[in-house]
Structure 1
Amino acid sequence: MKKLILSFIAGCIALTVTAQTKITLNTDLAKTKINKHIYGHFAEHLGRCIYGGMYVGENNTKIPNTAGVRNDVIQALKELKVPNLRWPGGCFADAYQWKDGIGPKEKRPKMVNVWWGGVTEDNSFGTHDFLDLCERIGAEPYLAGNVGSGTVQDLADWVSYVNQPTGSPMSDLRIQNGRKQPWNVKIWGVGNEAWGCGGNMTPEYYANIYRQYATFMKDITPESKLYKVASGASSDDFAWTETLMKNIPHNMMSALALHHYSVLSWKDTKGPSVGFTEAQYFKTMDEAWKMEEFVTKHSTIMDKYDPEKKIDLIVDEWGGWYETDAEGKGALYQQNTMRDAMIAGLTLNIFNNHADRVRGANLAQIVNVLQAVILTNEEKMLLTPTFHVMKMYNVHQDATLVPMSIDSPTYEFNGKKLTAVSSSASKDASGALNISLTNIDFRKSHEVTINLRGEDFSKVSGQILASTNISDHNTFEQPNKVSVKDFSGAKLEKGVLKLTIPAYSVITLKVSK
């Protein structure tokens, strides 16, 4: 009995003991810009992302809106400083006929969303609605073109419709539909997931298709010089990247996409969004950490063909993916917990630290779908833990990456190990240093020592996102259960920062002179 009691006490101590993480920041070697577009978002015609999420209709008197888009959503997206927003898909993009979403709304033909629940849509949210929303929130639009079922002419016409000032049939049609000035849309996806729902193509075939479509997507004005994104690989399909880099002329391609989700399994259960086990949590973190491997290896292939790094890597779909009971109009709705905050913090650290090649990304998705930053229910709206992390991290947008070395203990489960603490840092225009830390450890807090070399700093402040349970989340009854708090636990002395980061938490620090 005495041995059992001693074993129990020892186990409790093991759960609470802190581990040591050591970081060195070379503040005088900062030179690479962290492109703000790494903090992009994604809005697909899927479930309640558009209809019943962002868009509630112009005639809705119950929910305050501007041109049918919820005012609370608009305000939240402004707070996030969303740099770009991708639309209309996703898989939906390669079934979407953009001309059905313009003109008088009462005359627009309906369509069946064949990819997500077979829901009938009335096309009331279309090109004008989306591009006007982007203007309101200060985001650059990222239009995903239909290559899977659309024609070259369809895509060329869309470019002309949104970018040609005057003098073409498409510009005349836009003006007739109430928009005199062009939107000058720069970012264009030439298809989506061409290896799957975008056409089940081989990489060789898609490379040729890309060349054909991209040829007819013309720069119309200097203000609308097109940034063309090729449909890239899924996770570890390195052969896809190799084939595209080899076969697409580099002067025709601005960026290459990559998709990777932190999902337990594509064949079996994806697990619950709340009430998951530690085994499921560990597997999700393992999948999230794979982003480091995938970004590194795809970048290495790109370096082989593009050593000057002129072509960007754009991770335009990422996030957590779990089971949902919702179908049709509620497809892929899932709750958002502290686990999702871990995915967000870890992934953004990876992107920041690969800023020399990763120059854009899009979290999937923005409202009510997958790892959403916003959830809505009729007139109610809440901000998720992921929203808070994205907002905490937006200090890195267009800041200068500070090189670092990090030595972190591991988070261990059933004999497997993952790096527990990840970090990234940048210098902003004022010269202040912003440091982000994420501890994915399910059980242990970590003592962190940060050596600041190259410059002298005297002040430190911070914020923390933490909670008492990894499944904690915000609900419409308790919308602020998980929220950001001020963090005063960092101490700065003689160029050394010391703090303790709790288990499954995110901290951002601002260090100034």
Structure 2
Amino acid sequence: MKKINLLFIALLFPLFASQAQNRMILHVDEAEETINREIYGHFAEHLGRCIYDGLYVGEDSEIENIKGYRKDIIEALKEMQIPLLRWPGGCFADTYHWKDGIGPRASRPSIVNIHWGGVTEDNSFGTHEFLEFCELINAEPYVNLNVGSGTVQEASEWVEYITSSNQSPMTDLRKQNGRNEPWKVKYFGIGNENWGCGGNMTPEYYADLYRRFASYCGGAEFKIAGGPNVDDYNWTEVMMRKLQNHMFLMQGLSLHYYTIPQDWPPRFSATDFDKADWQETMFQVHRMEELIEKHSTIMDKYDPDKNVGLMVDEWGTWFAPMEGTNPGFLHQQNTLRDALVAGIGLNIFNNHADRVKMANIAQMVNVLQAVILTKGQELVLTPTYHVFKMYAAHQDAKLVPFHLSAEDYTINNQTLPSISTSASVKDGVLNVTMCNSNPDKDIEIEYDVRGASFSQAKGEILTAKSITDYNDFGGKNTVYTTDFKVNKPKNGKVKIKIPAKSVVLVQLSNSKGA
């Protein structure tokens, strides 16, 4: 009889082990690091239909607007709680001369957008328009200065024009253009992708040039240096080494990484894909963890106190442009797959909040992984929009340390973790966001909450019938958030079944209304 029992236990052990490994221990009382709200930032470049025919339609448009900005976009962004917006680029930034975009619109010179589609634009959206739009949506502005084709004088005068209250030619010019008081702009980027479209520079050359530009942009409170492309660790090494005695000139170092299945240039459809393509995309977004860790290790060597933030100011999915559109406009649809990429990416940024201080998904409207798509009078909120709205609970919350043990899954011999998660506490509410990227299997997981006691629970979920589902014009919305039932905590533990291919928010509190 004893042998039979041992055999029975041995046969069941793999099942017990599988169930036991899906567990998350959360140490609420150890929450110290703040998740900077700017991690939930966005990016608007003069590219395709992002600015023109996107967020800005002009005051004479039949589309309802406030001073030319689409009213429905303003309302949607405020509801999503957008904290920050980066502008004017991107590659466009290093061809942009800011004085072309001020003064009476009728007298502004037109320019050709050499990077994106070769189209001519009239500069009707410039400094005043951008900063006014940021005020309308309650977002912190992030202005990217021109280093590639600009001058130190041009950059320093732009900073002065925006931020100075002293009597000077630039403040006089701003007042002539209708703005008496300076704007409160904290973030200034000095150049963009200087290793590529921003000048094809070496890191040694750019580091010296950066010090020169930064020295004369004293009105910029928080200066962000152009950082590495993906895994160019040498760029980070050179920048940190050459700035180590001038750290007062650099408060942030950017990192650009796009989730691109297979090879460059992007050639895979945003909507027509199978589970193998899904898996490759999930693999690529998980690579963000490795990039942040390795670049942070280099930064730690020169900046152990973490005074310089790692700013992931361009990230998101990049697929082949939608058929029938200008390929230079980078217009793509946005499916449930994009929602999982957004959720996993944001979880990674949250969990590295000690070094990552900003992240701006590309781009806000009609371009790449947009949160909003427009066509005439119609507006579509994409799956990515709903994820950002869900994750807003983490903004400026305290990061909760945790230990996660969860099962993996395999597709086409490629193995990945099923669960991505992050947790925070704010105003007495514990927020746990989870992504189950396994497209086929629900995952049951037990949450063991330590260091705090909660009596109430509620949840929210985003999923769809198919991995290729998306929201479209004509009211065809198939991917959106709904309530997710969560049982009340019992003895500090909560068991949750996270459906396949879903993003979930669970909130624990001691208030029935929380």
TM-score band, normalised by the shorter chain? over 0.9
Distance 1:343 1:280, change over 3 A: same
- Name 2:350's counterpart in structure 1: 352
- Helix, strand or coil at the partner of 2:421: strand
Among 233, 238, 241, the residue aligned to 2:236: 241
- Name 1:56's counterpart in structure 2: 57
Could you tell me whether the CA contact under 8 Å between 1:491 and 1:498 is conserved in 2?
Answer: no
Distance 1:94 1:476, change over 3 A: same
- Deviation, 1:419, is 1.1
- Deviation, 1:19, is 9.7
Q: Can you list the C-alpha shifts for 1:127-169, whole angstroms capped at 9, x where unaligned?
A: 0000001011111100011000001111011001111124111
Matches of 1:477 and 1:184, distance apart in 2: 40
Could you tell me whether the CA contact under 8 Å between 1:349 and 1:424 is conserved in 2?
Answer: yes
Aligned runs of 1:269-280 on 2, under 5 Å?
269-280=266-277
Distance 1:87 1:462, change over 3 A: same
Distance 1:20 1:501, change over 3 A: farther
Matches of 2:454 and 2:500, distance apart in 1: 28
Among 208, 221, 228, the residue aligned to 1:226: 221
- Deviation, 1:328, is 4.3
Matches of 2:80 and 2:239, distance apart in 1: 34
Matches of 2:306 and 2:476, distance apart in 1: 43
- Deviation, 1:21, is 2.1
- Helix, strand or coil at the partner of 1:463: strand
Matches of 2:266 and 2:253, distance apart in 1: 30
Could you tell me whether the CA contact under 8 Å between 1:18 and 1:445 is conserved in 2?
Answer: no
Matches of 1:85 and 1:355, distance apart in 2: 19
CA-atom RMSD in angstroms: 1.4
- Deviation, 1:439, is 0.7
- Deviation, 1:481, is 1.7
Q: State TM-score, norm by structure 1.
A: 0.93
Matches of 2:82 and 2:482, distance apart in 1: 22
- Helix, strand or coil at the partner of 1:288: helix
- Helix, strand or coil at the partner of 1:323: coil
Q: State TM-score, norm by structure 2.
A: 0.93
Q: Which deviates more from structure 2 when the two are superposed, residues 327-336 or residues 395-404?
A: 327-336
Matches of 1:385 and 1:46, distance apart in 2: 22
- Name 1:408's counterpart in structure 2: 406
Distance 1:386 1:490, change over 3 A: farther
Amino acid corresponding to residue 54 of structure 1 in structure 2? L
- Name 1:213's counterpart in structure 2: 213
Matches of 2:154 and 2:342, distance apart in 1: 36
Q: Which deviates more from structure 2 when the two are superposed, residues 248-257 or residues 364-373?
A: 248-257
Matches of 2:307 and 2:45, distance apart in 1: 29
Among 408, 422, 425, the residue aligned to 1:424: 422
- Name 2:490's counterpart in structure 1: 493
- Deviation, 1:226, is 1.4
Q: Tell me, which stretches of 5 or more residues in structure 2 are unaligned?
A: 1-17
1:293 aligns with 2:290: yes
Could you tell me whether the CA contact under 8 Å between 2:460 and 2:482 is conserved in 1?
Answer: yes
- Deviation, 1:327, is 5.0
- Helix, strand or coil at the partner of 1:398: coil
Matches of 2:339 and 2:20, distance apart in 1: 21
- Helix, strand or coil at the partner of 2:373: strand
Amino acid corresponding to residue 39 of structure 1 in structure 2? Y
Matches of 1:168 and 1:479, distance apart in 2: 54
Amino acid corresponding to residue 45 of structure 1 in structure 2? H
- Name 1:68's counterpart in structure 2: 68
Matches of 1:412 and 1:341, distance apart in 2: 20
Could you tell me whether the CA contact under 8 Å between 1:229 and 1:256 is conserved in 2?
Answer: yes
Q: Tell me, which stretches of 5 or more residues in structure 1 are unaligned?
A: 1-16, 220-224
- Deviation, 1:434, is 0.6
- Name 1:463's counterpart in structure 2: 460
- Name 1:5's counterpart in structure 2: none
- Name 1:439's counterpart in structure 2: 436
Distance 1:56 1:19, change over 3 A: farther
Could you tell me whether the CA contact under 8 Å between 2:116 and 2:328 is conserved in 1?
Answer: no
Could you tell me whether the CA contact under 8 Å between 2:266 and 2:318 is conserved in 1?
Answer: no
Matches of 2:295 and 2:128, distance apart in 1: 36
